[in-house]
Amino acid sequence: MENDQAFIKHAWNLTYLIEVGHDDSNGWVFIFEQKEYLLKVLNGGSWFIRESWMLVAVCQDGTIGEKIKLWFQKIWLQMHNIHKNYISDHRCKLFASTTGRVLEVNADIEPGKPTRGCMVRLHVESNLRKPLPRGFFLNNNNNPVWVRFTFENLIELCIYCGLVGHNWKKCQLLPKATPLHEILLELEERKLDELGEWLRAEHKPKKPLIFPTQRKSQETTTACKQLQIVRGD
């Protein structure tokens, strides 16, 4: 823990950091000198330590020892392929709301203007117990186009089930009898509206991405259990 504490102190640019112990989920509990430092940490993430996502949440008075809802986390969403005619503050925030709560810190989006390059980027608070959405069809004058979602800094996203917090090779939903190399082949052949590496914003595809065609009935996502990726060692 000592090395981790030094690392966190440096990453959060603090003069000192008090770690008071662990809560009952084995998470770390920290006390901040001033509220502004706490807000800087809360709004500055995502934070990673030893290749694990460090989930952060505020303990209110009296909640230490109780379960804290760590599964609501702030994350940067990128939305690709929105035609400029459909870019407006209201519409883009509505699209983004399918991934979680759109945060107030986002600036207003000017009509027809992507926020970065050719995509729209928004800060959202997502529920990590649910698989992250992959995108949606936008009815562009009856010529539906696939709007693709990617998420920044997802270092532990399971491309098999869509949950954050474990590598696909350790996914509990993998069929036990199928060898890993066969599952890998299946994952490589998946289309863009299914789960895959392309959910990561930094993913550089080796071959052109196959954009999906619209189907009559869209599959619904499945709810999944809470993740525990904050480590106490």
To Zn ion, the closest distance from the beta carbon of 45 in angstroms equals: 22
**Residue 221 exposure: Cα atoms within 13 Å on the Cβ side:** 21
Q: How many CB atoms lie within 10 A of CB 61?
A: 5
Residues in the chain: 233
To Zn ion, the closest distance from the beta carbon of 229 in angstroms equals: 12
Nearer to Zn ion, 149 or 160 (CB): 160
Nearer to Zn ion, 23 or 197 (CB): 197
Are the C-beta atoms of residues 39 and 26 closer than 8 Å to each other?
A: no
Which of 77, 102, 158, 230 contacts Zn ion by CB under 5 A?
158
Nearer to Zn ion, 146 or 160 (CB): 160
223: phi then psi, degrees, rounded to nearest 5: -80, 145
Q: How many CB atoms lie within 10 A of CB 8?
A: 19
To Zn ion, the closest distance from the beta carbon of 121 in angstroms equals: 26
161 lines the binding site for Zn ion (CB under 5 A): yes
Nearer to Zn ion, 171 or 187 (CB): 171
Torsion of CA 167, 169, 173, 175, to 10 degrees: 170
To Zn ion, the closest distance from the beta carbon of 98 in angstroms equals: 21
Are the C-beta atoms of residues 100 and 124 closer than 8 Å to each other?
A: yes
Which of 11, 14, 38, 171 contacts Zn ion by CB under 5 A?
171
* Residues in contact with Zn ion by the rule CB under 5 A: 158, 160-161, 171
